[in-house]
Chain A
């Protein structure tokens, strides 16, 4: 069903027309988002010039940063034709753990806290991964269940407490609100994460295997790809990134309670799909997903600034998601047809 079906016979092949064509589609899709983003910025700026001043841009980048990191992890999972609904709950757990730890031990090194947060997230992701691969339970069911379960654990752990910005060390809070050379630290971190994950997906064999698993599981298996292992690690990565996002969440907001991250999963999935990662699996890139996160957050901010009734925001995001998947489907069908024509020509 996906556009890369025709290449699935040898999923790790390099070169060839099919690959170039699909690369081209990736590019176009990503450019499309950038285009939409620019359009939106320009439109809003014209109506309300303050929208593009330095402070406002800084805030846009900050708001999107955490979602961009979550979207990067979600991309890895969705590409393999799975989904991870538990990211919001994992973020909440990691956020509270980070805040709790630092409040009790302000002397803890910040990198240590980050590593611990990611480890917690990775453990959650591993649970998801085991259930999906070894237990053969569909990802939708597993992560729906862990969404509930992890959130419940978060509530038990917090037991009505709340982490306050007051009790967190300033150095940590600066991570969330400070800047490096004028660019918000969080945005820099998000950028680094997106680039690292994006390039890994693009340049390494592991990445190509993930695409193969998503676009043609049977073919991938026959070609010797160790699907179970790859999918497991995709979930671990998604969890680890959600853990990172959680720690950064605490750094940014300072005040964390059991409900941190509630409802994030749907926004993240929407961002990822809008960013060109097909829910079917097999296509899309981390860059697109990050751009999708940026676009969605900008829409929210832009609607507020344009004094559009806040109530239209949710409807707008829903409509955007529907447009994105409809568009992708059309593109996918065209691409499919084009690839088939080419291989028919070559064969005939």
Chain B
């Protein structure tokens, strides 16, 4: 069982998590069954997200005629770019039944390092890889505490959330650096070759493809799923669980540091207080994308769809002239909960229906 703080689950849910039994609306089809074809596609989580996104489009347009414009895409995606970047490795982490709440603090530390090294006279071309390495080290710190000491990642990353953010302030204090060379800041908020797609989004797209391949098309990715579904079984079947988990945390830290570099250049401001609170949005995107908090299930595609959905909702609300910005928070929170509640309820209903039709003796009631 994943070593996390979990909710009180009944044995039915426990079994489902452990055995990876899929219900109608989970994105996992590890039991190829009679429900192939159209029904399977219709029942998938990603389909729901696509449907929600399609529903969002006219609603957004009704809120503001500026919604369905390339401008909205450009600025809206830029606003979300760092969240999007960090969501990619976090997907793998959560699939492995762990969590990393320290990503925003690594982002801040990376920004603070950028500022300090820049003040120290180092060229940007050297600073950027250094920051990414530093992020990887932070991730390794998390990973070692989780794998070597066996500490729960929730508690560890709550601690490193404070620790890394604190270190960011120790490094640069209250200072900020705002005079990065224009050639880089222009690249950071500029668009790709005259299109409406920002450079940063192209970067995201490249990374998204890489992570998708890593998770869905390589043995490494399969191991991640296996670990998340049943860590003990994975261990006994020969997978190097500790090494894999450590790698995931290192990736998470490195990409968070990259996001820190990107946001500092994009806003021409490197400081220690950059990105405070981002981790919640990143986790929301991952969970909304259909990645199970228990591990063993999830897709990069789903997370990308969730990012689109969240970004679109935020953009629509920002463009609205009458809806208060406060609703963004309420909507995000509700979406987050619904993303897990929904499938649970659906599964309970279908379980109940099945029970009534077949009358088995051993279905446990919720």
Chains A and B touch (C-beta atoms under 8 A apart): yes
Q: List the interface of chain A (C-beta within 8 A of B).
A: 1, 78, 80-83, 131-142, 144-153, 155-156, 213, 217-218, 221, 227-228, 231, 266, 269-270, 273, 279-281, 309, 311-319, 321-322, 325-326, 329
| Residue B58 lies at the interface, judged by CB distance under 8 Å to chain A | no
Candidates A135, A152, A155, A321; contact of B158 at CB < 8 Å: A321
5 contacts between A and B (CB under 8 A): A140-B293, A148-B336, A149-B330, A266-B162, A279-B155
Cα separation A208 to B53 with both chains bound (whole Å):
47
Say yes or no for B247: interface residue by CB 8 A criterion: no
What count of chain B residues pass the 8 Å CB interface test?
Answer: 59
B327 in contact (CB, < 8 A): yes
B155, B167, B330: which contacts A325 (Cβ < 8 A)? B155
Contact between B166 and A311, CB atoms less than 8 A apart: yes
Q: Which parts of B41-82 form the interface with A (CB within 8 Å)?
A: none
Most buried by A among B155, B294, B331: B155
Q: In the assembled complex, which residues on chain B have CB atoms less than 8 Å from the CB atom of A266?
A: 158, 161-162
Establish whether residues B280 and A314, one from each chain, have CB atoms under 8 Å apart when the complex forms: no
* Contact yes or no, A317 B8, CB < 8 A: no
- Residues on the A chain within 8 Å of B5, using CB: 78, 81-83, 139-140, 279-281
* A325 partner residues in chain B, CB cutoff 8 A: 151-152, 155-156, 159
Contacts of A141 in B (CB 8 A): 287, 293, 336-337, 339-340
Separation of A228 and B280 alpha carbons in the complex (Å): 27
> When chains A and B are docked, how far (Å) is the Cα of A80 from the Cα of B6?
9
The answer to whether B7 touches A326 (Cβ under 8 A) is: no
Instruction: Name which of B9-17, B230-238, B353-361 contacts chain A.
Output: B9-17
User: Scoring B residues 148 to 168 as 1 if CB is less than 8 Å from chain A, else 0, what string do you get?
Assistant: 011110111011111111110
Q: Given the known A-B contacts A318-B161, A325-B156, A325-B159, are A149 and B333 also in contact in the complex, defined by CB atoms under 8 Å?
A: yes
Interface residues of chain B: helix, strand, loop or mixed (majority): helix
Q: Point out the residues of chain B lying under 8 angstroms from A315, CB to CB.
A: 162-163, 165-167, 169-170
Given contacts A155-B326, A273-B155, A311-B173, contact A137 B344 (CB under 8 A): yes
Contacts A135-B345, A137-B344, A148-B332 given; does A326 touch B149 at CB 8 Å: yes
Complex Cα gap A151–B332 (Å): 11
B7 touches A136 (CB 8 A): yes
Q: A146-B337, A156-B327, A217-B9 are in contact. List 17 more A-B contacts (CB 8 A).
A: A1-B3, A82-B6, A135-B341, A138-B7, A142-B7, A145-B332, A148-B330, A148-B332, A149-B337, A152-B326, A152-B331, A156-B326, A218-B11, A281-B5, A309-B170, A309-B173, A325-B155
Report the minimal beta-carbon distance from A293 to chain B, rounded to whole angstroms. Answer: 15
Tell me if B366 counts as interface (CB < 8 A to partner A).
Answer: yes
Interface centre among A80, A136, A146, by most chain B C-beta atoms within 10 angstroms, is A136
For residue B322, CB closer than 8 A to chain A, the reply is no
Q: Which residues of B sit under 8 angstroms from A136, Cβ to Cβ?
A: 7, 9-10, 13, 344, 366
Give chain A's interface secondary structure class. Answer: helix
Q: Which residues of A have CB within 8 Å of B239?
A: none
Which of A81, A145, A231 has the most B CB atoms < 10 Å from its CB?
A145
How many A-B residue pairs lie within 8 Å, measured between CB atoms?
A: 184
A228–B329 CB distance below 8 A? no
Contact of A317 with B166 at beta-carbon distance under 8 Å, contacts A81-B5, A149-B329, A329-B151 already known? yes
Chain A residues closer than 8 Å to B170, beta-carbon distance: 309, 311-312, 315
Bound-complex Cα distance A136 to B335 (A): 16
Complex CA gap A133/B287 in Å reads: 19
Contacts of A145 in B (CB 8 A): 284, 332-337
Whole-angstrom CA separation of A153 from B159 in the bound complex: 28
B147 to A: closest C-beta gap in Å: 13
Shortest Cβ distance from B82 into chain A, in angstroms? 18
Taking CB atoms, residues of chain B closer than 8 Å to A135 are 340-341, 344-345
**B8 with A318: CB separation less than 8 A:** no
A93 CB to nearest B CB, Å: 13
Q: How far does the Cβ of A340 sit from chain B's closest Cβ, in whole Å?
A: 17
Residue of B nearest to A85 (CB): B280
Residue contact A81 to B158, C-beta cutoff 8 Å: no
Q: How far is the CA of A138 from the CA of B8 in the complex (A)?
A: 8
Q: Are B8 and A228 in contact (CB under 8 A)?
A: yes
- Chain A residues lying within 8 Å of B329, measured Cβ to Cβ, are 148-149, 151-152, 155
Provide the bound-state CA to CA distance between A173 and B90, in Å.
46
Which residues of chain B are within 8 angstroms of A137 by Cβ–Cβ distance? 7, 337, 340-341, 344
**Which of A144, A149, A311 is close to B169, meaning CB atoms less than 8 Å apart?**
A311
**When the two chains form their complex, are residues B145 and A326 in contact, meaning their CB atoms are under 8 A apart?**
yes
A141 to B333, CA, bound (A): 9
Taken together as a complex, chains A and B put the C-alpha atoms of A109 and B159 apart, in Å, by: 41
In Å, the complex CA distance between A316 and B6 comes to: 28
B362 interfacial by beta-carbon distance below 8 Å: no
Complex Cα spacing A279 to B5, Å: 6
| B330 touching A152, Cβ below 8 Å | yes
Question: With A139-B7, A140-B5, A152-B328 known to touch, is A269 a contact of B158 (CB < 8 Å)?
Answer: yes
Find out whether the CB atom of B145 lies under 8 angstroms from the CB atom of A322: yes
Q: Verify if B283 is at the interface (C-beta below 8 Å from A).
A: yes
B324 at the interface (CB under 8 A from A): yes
CB B261 to nearest CB in A, in angstroms, measures 22
Q: How far is the CA of A196 from the CA of B11 in the complex (A)?
A: 33
Determine whether the beta carbon of A149 is less than 8 Å from that of B334.
Answer: yes
The 0/1 profile, CB within 8 Å of A marked 1, for residues 290-313 of chain B is 000110000000000000000000
Bound together, the chains give a CA A296 to CA B161 distance in angstroms of: 16
Residue of B nearest to A137 (CB): B340
Shortest distance in angstroms between A47's beta carbon and chain B's nearest beta carbon? 20
- Which 6 pairs of residues, A with B, have the shortest CB-CB distance? A315-B166, A318-B163, A148-B333, A318-B162, A149-B333, A314-B166
**CA distance in complex: A271, B308 (Å):** 37
Determine the chain B residues whose CB is within 8 A of the CB of A312 once the complex forms: 166, 170
Q: Which residues of B contact A147 (CB under 8 A)?
A: 280, 333
Shortest Cβ gap from B317 to chain A (Å): 11
> Bound state CA distance, A243 and B272, in angstroms?
33
| Interface contact B150-A329, CB-CB below 8 Å | yes
Contact check, A153 vs B330: say whether CB atoms are below 8 A apart.
Answer: yes
Chain A residues near B330: list those with CB within 8 A: 148-149, 152-153, 156
The interface centre, meaning the residue of B10, B159, B340 with most chain A CB atoms within 10 A of its CB, is B159
Indicate which residue in B3, B8, B150 contacts A82 across the interface (CB closer than 8 Å). Answer: B8
Chain A residue at minimal CB-CB distance from B338: A145
